[in-house]
Amino acid sequence: MHNKSVAELSRELESGNVSSVELAQQFLDRVKREDEKYNSFITVSEEQALAEAKAADEMRAAGKATPWTGVPFAHKDIFCTNGVRTTCGSKMLENFVPPYDATVTANFRAAGAVCLGKTNMDEFAMGSSSESSYYGATTNPWGLGAGDKRVPGGSSGGSAAAVAARLVPAATGTDTGGSIRQPAALCGITGLKPTYGRVSRYGMIAFASSLDQGGPMARTAEDAALMMNVMAGHDPKDSTCIDRAVPDYTATLNEPLKGLKIGLPKEYFSDQLSPAMEEQVRNAIREYEKLGATVKEVSLPNAKLAIAAYYVIAPAEASANLSRFDGVRYGYRCEDPKDLMDMYTRTRAEGFGSEVKRRILVGTYALSHGYYDAYYLQAQKVRRLIQQDFLNAFKDVDVLMSPVTPSPAFAQGEKTTDPVAMYLEDVFTIAINLAGIPAMSVPAGFVDGLPVGLQIIGDHFSEARLLNAAHQFQQVTDWHQREPK
Amino acid sequence: MSISREDIEKVAVLARIKVDDEQVSALEKDLGNILDLVDQLGAADTDSVEPMAHPLDAVQKLRADEVTETNQREAFQAIAPATEDGLYLVPKVIE
């Protein structure tokens, strides 16, 4: 069962070949047996999962089943889950049990899906390797056979590793600068960052509010479409969420790609990209040409400024968002504070890890008196220039294609001492968040036995078209079916 | 652009994060590198460009001023570090 997709498991449940409780138990046993190697889960919520599975079986017996009823999955530990600890990878929230559900959590709950637990991540989603988690680093299932311990990418590295290792068929992720797409690429799975505002952020612990977006991580584009059907939609509890009709994302998966116009941004095929990676990405694009697509070069002249703009905007917003962790209402509080200031400063010094503190300090600096115009305002202007480049490109082409990362999964420890080297990991993904447009990572080959991701970028609200393009590619390739040894 | 020890100490107070001397030295280097990275923004010509706050330029929606939430004080305070008689406890602030 563990190799089956969400769509396949859904059919098994529908036909009565297996019950939700049996399925949940099988996957829970597998997590308990296998996850020692990966550390992809922070919390396994066995008791709640079995209760949800029992309820799912009852839901089906009552004739109220949805495609998700009884299907096991996991949430990134950034989505609040009522009654199940939610840590965001931080010591600050080690004992935090939310008294409410995130909207995404509530949506999966209403559909009858069975959440097995909460997946590991970079602390507060700040990182590209899942090494900054207070609960220990996650290991990429790929490369382990060769004795290598590779990073799974980040920040949604636990979700990516769990899906790649067949511990769950699907998991939620969040993407602020590449945190769904980069781990999906490095673990050889399929991930989608939706348009900003497509998925509610309510109850999704905030990092950079104008960039954060939740999305699906699964092995197939079809499963990602099934997740989007549950995740997307307007939510009055998130004032930035867009009120716009949600299509059935599975309905257009089989549209032919003949005539699809693909743009290749020349800035994303630069010398930062290793030749072996480029070869894999170009091969994937040739598959699209065989499916009837046409290809032309386009330019995103301001893309080179994306990392700089991001590392002003994201830390600035983070410094404001993370001010809520004050040791008063929930979360960690230091021992024996001597006064209020001592409580705040020691609680935050002890509760946050070093990367989170770095970003809060950079953001505080960028917003402080005398620097606001030079940094924050200028970054927001550059952000508009970057978005304009994409919108101009979409006047000519339907989608853009590029690599997701400059190189495959790197070794654990390789970039932990150099924050800027870690930041450059997101060089091909970050501009998409600044522009607020959707993009996918699709398995597209291997370099040195490690997965390579193809990035498919679309205009605002083009998720259905991206999923269609990914699904058609997955009908003629089997990269997404490969299993780590 | 470099950042001075004094700047780091000042920002740390604003951010309510305690830093010791050793950490300030490490931050001097790390924050300096990050600021070097972002300094290239200054070279971009943005004279006639409006800053972008929301990718779809959506404006803040307002809801009707109605009570929609029920009181859940007990549930919320059950996860607080210290409470007493329905109040959050913090170190004494008034002598």
pLDDT tens, residue by residue, A206-238: 999 999 999 999 999 999 999 999 999 999 999
* A384-B52-A390 Cα angle (round to 5): 30
CB-based contact A198:A459 (threshold 8 Å) = no
Task: Measure CA of the first residue to CA of the last residue in chain B; give whole Å.
Answer: 44
**A240 token code pair:** 């930035």
Chain B interface includes A325 (CB < 8 A): no
- Please confirm, yes or no, whether A155 is among the known catalytic residues: yes
- In sequence order, the β-bridge partners of residue A119 are A41, A76
Q: Which residue out of B3, B16, B60, B70 would a mutagenesis test of the A interface target, given it has the greatest number of A Cβ atoms within 10 Å?
A: B16
Calpha distance A73→A171 (Å, rounded): 5
Q: What is the pLDDT of residue B1?
A: 63
Number of structural domains in chain A:
1
Mean pLDDT of A172-201: 98
Q: What is the pLDDT of residue B10?
A: 96
**A37 token code pair:** 């190697």
Contact B88 A330 (CB under 8 A): no
Calpha distance A423→A444 (Å, rounded): 23
Percent of chain A clearing pLDDT 70 (strictly above): 100
* A436 in any annotated domain: no
Contact B40 A358 (CB under 8 A): no
CB-based contact A81:A57 (threshold 8 Å) = no
* A138 in any annotated domain: yes
Amino acid symbol at B13: V
Contact B37 A311 (CB under 8 A): yes
* A163 in any annotated domain: yes
- In sequence order, the β-bridge partners of residue A76 are A119
Q: Which of the pair, A426 or A147, is modelled with greater confidence?
A: A426
Percent of chain A clearing pLDDT 90 (strictly above): 94
Mean pLDDT of A447-476: 98
ipTM higher than the 0.90 cut: yes
Domain ranges in chain B are 5-41
> By mean pLDDT, which of A19-33, A157-171, B19-33 is the weakest?
B19-33
Q: How far is CA A339 from CA A269, B91, B95, in A?
A: 55, 5, 11
Give the structural domain span for A32: 6-258
Amino acid symbol at B37: L
Give the residue carrying structure tokens 């980069």.
Answer: A182
Contact B88 A342 (CB under 8 A): no
- In sequence order, the β-bridge partners of residue A193 are A439
Q: Which of the pair, A422 or A160, is modelled with greater confidence?
A: A160
Distance from CA of A462 to the nearest CA of B (A): 14
Tell me which residue of A177, A397, A406, A399 sits closest to A269, measured CA to CA: A406
- In sequence order, the β-bridge partners of residue A298 are A265
**pLDDT tens figures, A26-41:** 999 999 999 999 999 9
Q: What is the pLDDT of residue A306?
A: 97
Distance from CA of A438 to the nearest CA of B (A): 12
Q: Got the DSSP string for A357-404?
A: HHHHHHHHHHHSTTTTIIIIIHHHHHHHHHHHHHHHHTTT-SEEEEES
Residue A444: which pLDDT band, with cuts at 50, 70 and 90? very high
* A339 in any annotated domain: no
Residue B56: which pLDDT band, with cuts at 50, 70 and 90? confident
**A203 token code pair:** 């109850």
Distance from CA of A173 to the nearest CA of B (A): 20
The CATH number for A38's domain is 3.90.1300.10
Calpha distance A97→A376 (Å, rounded): 34
> For residue B93, which residues of chain A lie inside 8 Å, CB to CB?
339-340
Q: How far is CA A419 from CA A67, A133, A295, A404, B50, in A?
A: 42, 15, 36, 20, 30
Tell me which residue of A354, A371, A387, A353 sits closest to A316, measured CA to CA: A371
Tell me which residue of A135, A334, A103 sits closest to A235, measured CA to CA: A103
The class of domain B5-41 in CATH terms is mainly alpha
Q: Which of the pair, A331 or A418, is modelled with greater confidence?
A: A331
Chain A interface includes B14 (CB < 8 A): yes
**pLDDT tens figures, A296-345:** 999 999 999 999 999 999 999 999 999 999 999 999 999 999 999 999 99
Q: What is the pLDDT of residue A271?
A: 83
Q: Is the pLDDT of residue A361 over 70?
A: yes
Q: What is the pTM of this model?
A: 0.97
Mean pLDDT of chain A: 97
